[in-house]
Amino acid sequence: MIDLLNIGLVALILGLAVWAIVAREDFAAVVGFIAYGLLLTLAWVQLHGIDVALTEAAIGGGLTGVLLIGAVGRLRGSAAAVKVERSSTPVRWLAAGVSATVSGALVICVLAFPDPAPTLAHHVADNIADTGVGNPITAVLLVFRSMDTLLEAIVLLFALLGVWSLAADQSWGGRPGPQPQSSDPNGILAYAARVLPPLGIIVGTYIFWIGADYPGGKFQGATILAAMWLLVMMAGLTDAPPISRTWLRVALVAGPLVFIAIGFAGVLTADAFLGYPHGLAKPLIVAIELALLPSLTLVLALLLLGAPQRGMRL
């Protein structure tokens, strides 16, 4: 029974992937991509990766979908230019060949895993009691491989800088996104943007908080909070902040700075960069997560808003 379900799921996923590529209408292709993300969430649940399913539902389904929708909206005005840019047929065949080769190599590698596959899970299970957290994913992310998480946070900041660098010279430092059209303050979107965000903030904070012992954590919580803030901006109830504001820039770097500071403190107290002294692991982890939550929320929301488009005066 469950095999039948899994086969059906895989067939749907592959079908939607093909659809997302060949669809003629841009909006239909984006919807295909969002559906693909949702089905991947189900696939992750079947593989018992609930943390990954949570992240896929939040980022893959929600945020990336909205990013693509925004891109389609911006491309609508220049449809003619997009058509001219298509690559020639030999290039496209070459791209197809390379993609197929990489996919084939991945399939062979996965099928060639020795059974049971090499894993460090028992090491994590042996040492997780010292960390004070119950969720092994959180333990790996913030204790055993915290260096990777630190570098991830910094990479996100660099990505944001990359997006900002697309701004025109006269817009640098201004507000991202186009001028909000005067939307009806009593309309449905405004109503939803008043009722949903408080609920979203509660849910986002809840998911952030339970990440210590159950699937969740700062990344998924930050995604929900960013989505709620973007909803309020979409309804026109608030405007995007200019990127030159000091509070914005301080809030963006505060998270990684706290992380780095705790890392260097670990050199003094625990003989290793990002080491935690005995008994202080849980409070330090909570401090890092609390510091990273607002930074991540800001980064994700600003990544979706895009490069500044309006000058500083507006």
Partner 1 sequence: MAEFLLMAAGFVLAMVALGLVRILRGPSTADSMMAVQLLGTGGIAALLLLGAATGEDAVVDVALTLALLAAFASFAFVKAASDTSGQDAAAERDA
Partner 2 sequence: MSAVLDVLSLIAIAAGAFFFLAGTVGLLRFPDTLTRLHALTKADNLGLGLVVLGLLLQVDSVLAGFKLVCIWLLVLLSAASVSQVIARYVRSSEPSR
Residues contributing to the site for partner 1 (CB under 8 A): 1-2, 4-5, 8-9, 12, 16, 19, 23, 25, 27-28, 30-32, 34-35, 38, 41-42, 45-46, 48, 50, 53-54, 57-58, 61-63, 65-66, 69-70, 72-73, 76-77, 181, 189, 192, 196, 199-200, 203, 207, 210, 214-216, 220, 223-224, 227-228, 230-231, 234-235
Taking the least distance from each CB to partner 1, the nearer of 12 and 17 is 12
Residues within window 199-258 making contact with partner 2, judged by CB under 8 A: 199, 203
Query: How far separated are the first and last CA of the chain, in Å rounded?
Result: 60
Q: Which residues contact 275 (CB under 8 A, 6 or more apart)?
A: 266, 267, 269
Instruction: Give CA separation, 287 vs 127, 273, 283, in Å.
Output: 21, 16, 6
> What is the spatial distance between Cα 206 and Cα 213, in angstroms, rounded to a whole number?
12
Taking the least distance from each CB to partner 1, the nearer of 28 and 129 is 28
Instruction: Give CA separation, 11 vs 5, 14, 177, in Å.
Output: 10, 5, 38
- Asked, as a colleague might, if the bond just before 241 is cis with ω within 30 of 0, I would say no
Residues within window 281-300 making contact with partner 2, judged by CB under 8 A: none
Taking the least distance from each CB to partner 2, the nearer of 6 and 183 is 183
Q: Where are the strands (E) in 90-189, listed by range? A: 175-176
- What is the H or E stretch that residue 274 is in? none
Among 27, 93, 191, 264, binds partner 2 (CB under 8 A): 191
Q: Which stretch binds partner 2 (CB under 8 A): 103-111, 171-179, 188-196, 254-262?
A: 188-196
> What is the spatial distance between Cα 41 and Cα 60, in angstroms, rounded to a whole number?
9
- The site partner of 181 among partner 2, partner 1, none (C-beta below 5 to 8 Å per kind) is partner 1
Residues binding partner 2 (CB under 8 A): 188-189, 191-192, 195-196, 199, 203
